[in-house]
Chains A and B, each alone.
Chain A
């Protein structure tokens, strides 16, 4: 492997002082939830380790992950893209295009065999031999398999790569398939969300490059440091939830007062993400803060979970619009009516029997 500069080298070359560098290391440690004792370790890793090359590929997607990523406030995407990682191939961000870009793709794979990280944005559609998504003249699924073969690890960016997102929603005509169902022999880290929070994306990359391993993952393969708690657990409107104070209609007084959006179908209680702590756009706000419930975009199959605006959502299995309560009440109603009818017949039969036996006696 050829000599690559360390992160520290690149940062110094860009005019970043040692003091700023140390500040950056402390802030990163804090962002990752690490103790201050880890700061020297991060600094040492960045001073001595060669930058890790990253190949970033795009499948069936809307590029919102990239849009989010380049808006990262901390660590600045600039730092990540230019200094921390050696982003050797990204067909959206790179200057090269066409054959030159494809050549760079091949070069990176050959040069850093087994050492690069493959970041996947979007997912491969498998129907019609993958013809629904063509990049560089080939189905994306082939490119994905090719790039994953020699990768050290795979990052699934966003809901598309992690779970399938809107293109995999029922009936999923292109058979859009999340990355982990296509690539089964590599460690995969899922960073779901539509898009994921910028600071979460850069935080994950920082961790992987600093410690040379995947961060602690949860049951579903998401980094526990960012997906360990629900939006609900850290929501600033939680006191109104516990008090039983809810927005009843979008334009009511409770909405103006900023009450809990639970009744408006907020999916905060079933969504694991860091929106209510890290927030968006340099920590400015997040959906609930701007008055709209969480739609659960970082959860598996969130498009197929009924309306965004119901708490007890529709059950699409029943064909017509029905939710758990309507189905349950209908069933209980039918059973209740059945019981009443049965009781009536029982009473009639008993009365009949009585008259008959009294007649016989007489």
Chain B
């Protein structure tokens, strides 16, 4: 064990110095993934708030003559702008899944046919049910998280983007290029656009449920597990709190 000079004089006991001198981090989330995560998070917050108000508008306001007042218009603008950022960001994320490191691909699949994977999922479920005393170490998402990410984000956000662009295309007109691309959504869901509105609305709550669980679990695991969680999505590095394998 060799003490690195810059640690001398720091507020550190020998144990800290021993730990700090070891390489205990893995670079997991590359820059594009991290930027996407936070942009996406912000877009989703804006989309949920503005989307809720589109379904249930705020009380009528009497600021000016209707011609000079654009309250609901701005709410809808915020929704559409954030929607485009979400959609294009998601495309960029798919691009990075192909060209980035292998951790970037984890969001888009889960090893359905792999028995060992499901065993790990069960282990994670037990950990959350307080049936296991100690969690395992994972470099990327844990197996349960991977499953949740796939259903809530990969499928959920895809559904919201497709139905959202279809509804947006209606505003552009049935002769628009976007309607030509997404008009099939209305055929798929029983021809009545009202059904698509309702499903898109339910989709919001699907994403809200994900947000609640995701934020709770990320903070909880940051405290309880044997590895870093929250800071990993800021720095990209996964650090571990102990040296034991597994």
Contacts and interface: CB of A to CB of B under 8 A. Distances in A.
Q: Are chains A and B native binding partners rather than an unrelated pairing?
A: yes
Interface of A: 163, 218-220, 224, 228-230, 233, 239-246, 248, 254, 259, 262-263, 267, 269-270, 272, 296, 299-302, 305, 311-313, 315, 324-325, 327-329, 331-332, 335-336, 339, 342-343, 345-346, 349-350
Interface in B23-70: 52, 55-62, 66-67, 69-70
Chain B: interface secondary structure? helix
B224 A350 contact: yes
Given A224-B174, A296-B194, A335 B61 contact: no
A332 B205 contact: yes
B187 interface: yes
A239 B190 contact: no
Given A312-B198, A315-B198, A331 B205 contact: yes
Given A229-B174, A254-B60, A325-B55, A312 B201 contact: yes
Nearest to B73: A242
A331 B195 CA distance: 20
B117 interface: no
B71 A243 contact: yes
B246 interface: no
Contacts, number: 130
Contacts of B194: 267, 270, 296, 299, 305, 313
15 contacts: A224-B174, A224-B175, A229-B173, A243-B71, A244-B71, A244-B72, A245-B62, A302-B192, A312-B201, A313-B194, A335-B209, A335-B212, A336-B212, A343-B220, A346-B220
A242 B174 CA distance: 21
B31 to A, nearest CB: 31
Contact of A246 (B60, B183, B190): B60
A324 B66 CA distance: 30
Chain A: interface secondary structure? helix
A239 B70 CA distance: 8
